[in-house]
Amino acid sequence: MATSLQTTVYNAGIAAGSLTGGLVLESAGATALPWTSLPLIAAAVGVVAVGRRAFPPRRPA
C-alpha cells in the first residue's frame, strides 16, 4: 500500500507541476517560470534541512 501511495503522490506532483507551469506560461510568459518555481524550491530545501535533523547519521560503536 505504501508503494502505491508513493507512486500516486509522485504522479500527482508531476501533474500539478505541469498544470501550474502551463498556466503560468500561458498567462505571464516564460520569464515568470523561474519566479514561480522559486518558492517551491525553497520549500523543498526546507524539508531536506528538517529531514536531516530527524535522521541523524549512525556512528560506529
Q: What is the pLDDT of residues 16-52, one digit of tens each?
A: 999 999 999 999 999 999 999 999 899 999 999 888 8
Banded pLDDT at 12 (limits 50, 70, 90): very high
Sign, CA dihedral 8-14-19-20, equals: positive
| CA angle at 24 for the pair 9 and 19, rounded to the nearest 5° | 30
Cα–Cα distance, 2 to 5 (Å, whole number): 5
- CA dist list (Å): 37 to 1, 7, 34, 40, 42: 31, 22, 5, 5, 9
Considering the entire predicted model, what is its pTM?
0.68
Model pLDDT, residue 34 = 93
